[in-house]
Amino acid sequence: MTTEYRITVEPLGREITCRDDQTILDACLRAGVWVPHSCTHGTCATCKAEVLEGEVNHGEASSFALMDFEREEGKTLLCVCKPLSDVIIEADVDADDAIEVHPVQDFVGTVVSMDEVALDTRRLIVELDADLTFNSGQYMSLALPNHPGVTRTYSMANIPTEPRLLEFQIRRTPGGLATDGWIFADLAVGDSFNLSGPYGRFVLRTDRTEPSVLIAGGTGLAPIASMIRHTLENDVEGIGHMTLYQGARTKAGIYDVERFQALADEFPDRFTYRPCLSEEDAEGFESGMVTDVLNEHHETLKGHIGYVCGPPAMVEASLKTLMLKRLFPRDIYKEEFLDASAAATQIRSPLIKR
């Protein structure tokens, strides 16, 4: 039997209900109260908040993200903590009226197709049992069928006008519980599983009219693909010219090249495509790291905005390059893709706030 507690979110003054078996972040998002979050597994510290009154169970908060002295000072990570009483929290809400908040909901998804698109990379198309409303760039939380209570998060590459068919681009992690143990093992077309969402704040900024550079490494392409496709295919007005720098080591590791080249050919005044290979020379591809290629193409990026998504090292290098090209942190939006083992020891970048 569960117990419900009252959670007061300051400085909003909003009161919501949270079960004792539910995280405070989950209760907030389902009630349409946005609070900062990213990993949703207690490792990145984006959702760190202060407990002003009441008691919480800190759950599986990483000691890197929530240190012992912070716990003693009353800090907690909303994505893994659960209430032990009525609680008042103070969160860095920083509400942004330009971004629509879509409450988190539960769904059942059925696998429609599953294809190999690159080295150790699969495209998973999942049909939901109900329509999903979301912003381009957001992600979903997938429940692992054979591991009760265990979830993994993956960004969507589909666009908001495709509310039932979700596209995930998933890279295999050796020994990964979700990939080696499920998606690349025995998951098959016709299988169903539970998922929830949408989550995340790395989204297409429809309020920004400046030209943008979008940097994607590996499956960090997924949310950026959603942003680009939504802008072009749905003729979203007011968004400046978009240039995609997609990076991989070799041709075997890059995918959807033809798809983006076709968009560049169809919308030359709105979109430019720059696929880059760092360890192989090939016709039709730029040679070098995405940051090197971007550096060659732009003397300055003043007056632009940036979107960056991919492995932490690539994100860090991209942030440095963009800022050297005169982009301020407020003009750069980022998302790091971490596997579970890397997330456990990840320390947040000092360069920019999520």
Strand 105-118 to 192-199 pairing = antiparallel
pLDDT one-digit tens code per residue, 293-303:
999 999 999 99
**Structural domain count of the chain:** 3
- Among 90, 123, 140, the domain-final residue is 90
Cβ neighbors of 288 (< 8 A, separation 6 or more) are 276, 278, 296
Residues 122, 313: Cα–Cα separation, whole Å: 22
Task: Report yes or no on 98 lying in a domain.
Answer: no
22, 109, 224 from 144: Cα distances, Å: 18, 12, 25
pLDDT one-digit tens code per residue, 154-210:
999 999 999 999 999 999 999 999 999 999 999 999 999 999 999 988 999 999 999
Residues 265, 270: Cα–Cα separation, whole Å: 10
Average pLDDT of the residues in 284-291: 94
pLDDT of the residue at 93: 76
pLDDT of the residue at 214: 98
- Among 199, 234, 258, the domain-final residue is 199
Question: Tell me, what amino acid is at 294?
Answer: L
Does residue 223 sit in the same domain as residue 329? yes
CATH code assigned at 56? 3.10.20.30
Q: Which helix (H) or strand (E) holds 5?
A: strand 4-10
Residue 150, number of CB atoms within 10 A of its CB: 14
Contact 42, 25 (CB under 8 A): no
Under the banding of pLDDT at 50, 70 and 90, the label for residue 353 is very low
Query: 192 is written with which tokens?
Result: 């169903």
Task: Report yes or no on 352 lying in a domain.
Answer: no
Whether the CA torsion 137, 334, 102, 122 is positive or negative: it is positive
Contact 80, 45 (CB under 8 A): no
CATH code assigned at 299? 3.40.50.80
CA angle, residues 226, 230, 231, in degrees to nearest 5: 120
Does residue 122 sit in the same domain as residue 189? yes
Does residue 276 sit in the same domain as residue 224? yes
pLDDT of the residue at 64: 86
Does residue 261 sit in the same domain as residue 325? yes
Strand 242-248 to 212-217 pairing = parallel
Query: 103 is written with which tokens?
Result: 């409450």
Does residue 173 sit in the same domain as residue 219? no
Question: Tell me, what amino acid is at 177?
Answer: L
In which domain, by residue range, is 304 found? 212-343
Task: Report yes or no on 97 lying in a domain.
Answer: no
Query: In 192-267, where do the E strands start and end?
Result: 192-199, 212-217, 242-248
Under the banding of pLDDT at 50, 70 and 90, the label for residue 343 is very low
Does residue 143 sit in the same domain as residue 265? no
Phi/psi of residue 82, each to 5°? -130, 145
Residue 30, number of CB atoms within 10 A of its CB: 17
CATH code assigned at 141? 2.40.30.10
Residue 69, number of CB atoms within 10 A of its CB: 8
pTM above 0.85, yes or no: yes
Does residue 216 sit in the same domain as residue 332? yes
Does residue 296 sit in the same domain as residue 184? no
Task: Report yes or no on 265 lying in a domain.
Answer: yes
Say yes or no to pLDDT of 339 above 90: no
